[in-house]
Amino acid sequence: MELSNGVAKLPVSTIVLIAIQVVAMIAYATNLSADIDQTEYEVSRNDSRITSLELNLQQQQVTLARIDENLKHTMKQVDSIANK
């Protein structure tokens, strides 16, 4: 940087370098924003999948409980027939 008549002068290469850095920062921020949007979409999709899996698990647990109760009842009937 030169000082001429009380006015500082910047070399053109410094100005170009700063401009390139600004453009690179803007491109990086844009890419980062796109990555954040993609991640939010994936989180939302995974959340709905987890909710669906939880519902399926709950239904399976209810079905297993019913099967268990039916099996107990059947075993009691078999025992009562065998003891006669």
pLDDT tens-digit series, residues 11-55: 889 999 999 999 999 999 999 999 999 999 999 999 999 999 999
More confident residue, 53 or 7: 53
pTM beyond cutoff 0.85: no
Contact 8, 1 (CB under 8 A): yes
With a CB cutoff of 8 Å and minimum separation 6, the contacts of 9 are 1, 2, 3
CA–CA dist 67, 74 (Å, integer): 10
Mean pLDDT of 56-83: 95
DSSP strand E in the chain: where?
2-4, 7-9
Distances (CA, A) of 54 to 30, 41, 68: 36, 20, 21
